[in-house]
């Protein structure tokens, strides 16, 4: 890790803002990844500007751009998960895209290290360690997680 020590330091420093994406409902993830919600509306006008260069006067070009944008606004698709906006405004917490209920509060009390381990295990190709068929149960409280057993 000597080679990438600055990159590792930067990622560990900015870990919380980078993972804040997962604090929102899963339906909103598509829109959070979008660079700009207006981008798709303006794209039609931007692409046609190059094709019509030199063919129109300034006034008619403005009319064409206006018509293109109004047509794009009418055909714009509705946002996914828009019914969950009141919950977000109220401050309902989400973890990995699912709403955290009172019975799931233990997930919010996990240490960052335990939460990171659980996240990594869920993203591995073979999430079942030692080729077992049963997934190990996650304890209700991260403090109850088993520690390494010393050999006597």
Q: What is the DSSP string of 81-100?
A: TGGGHHHHHHT--EETTEE-
**Domain assignment of residue 32, given as a range:** 18-124
Q: How far is CA 38 from the centre of its chain?
A: 19
**Whole-angstrom distance, CA of residue 24 vs CA of residue 69:** 30
For residue 80, being part of any structural domain is answered with yes
Instruction: Answer yes or no: is 74 within a domain.
Output: yes
Residue 40 in any domain: the answer is yes
Q: Does a structural domain hold residue 93?
A: yes
Looking at residue 30, its pLDDT comes to 66
Which residue ranges of the chain lie beneath pLDDT 70?
1, 21, 28-56, 75-85, 88, 94-152
pLDDT in tens, 99-130: 666 554 555 555 565 566 665 555 544 444 44
pLDDT, residue 130, reads 46
Residue 13: what pLDDT?
A: 87
> What pLDDT shows up at residue 1?
58
Write down the residue that tokens 């989400």 correspond to.
Answer: 94
pLDDT at 127: 47
- Residue 96 located in a structural domain: yes
How many domains, in total, are found in the chain? Answer: 1
The C-alpha atoms of residue 11 and residue 45 are separated, in whole angstroms, by 38
Whether the CB-CB separation of 43 and 37 falls below 8 Å is answered with no
Residue at 69 is within a domain: yes
Instruction: Tell the residue number behind the tokens 């997934």, with chain if given.
Output: 135
**Of 74, 51, 73, the residue nearest 61 (C-alpha):** 51
Residue 149 included in any domain: no
Q: Is residue 109 part of a domain?
A: yes
Model pLDDT, residue 3: 83
Determine how many CB atoms are found less than 10 A away from the CB of residue 120: 10
Provide the pLDDT for residue 2. 74
Q: What is the reported pLDDT for 66? A: 80
């Amino acid at each position: 890790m000597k080679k990438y020590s600055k990159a590792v330091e930067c990622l560990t420093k900015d870990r919380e803002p980078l993972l804040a994406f997962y604090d929102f409902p899963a339906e909103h993830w598509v829109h959070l990844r979008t660079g700009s919600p207006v981008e798709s509306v303006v794209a039609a006008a931007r692409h046609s500007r190059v094709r019509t260069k030199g063919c129109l006067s300034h006034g008619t070009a403005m009319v064409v751009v206006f018509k293109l944008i109004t047509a794009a606004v009418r055909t714009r698709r509705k946002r996914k998960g828009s019914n969950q906006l009141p919950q977000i405004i109220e401050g309902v917490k989400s973890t990995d895209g699912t709403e955290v209920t009172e019975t799931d509060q233990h997930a919010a009390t996990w240490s960052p290290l335990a939460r990171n381990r659980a996240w990594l295990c869920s993203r591995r190709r073979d999430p079942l360690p030692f080729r077992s068929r049963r997934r190990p149960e996650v304890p209700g409280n991260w403090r109850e997680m088993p520690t390494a057993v010393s050999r006597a």
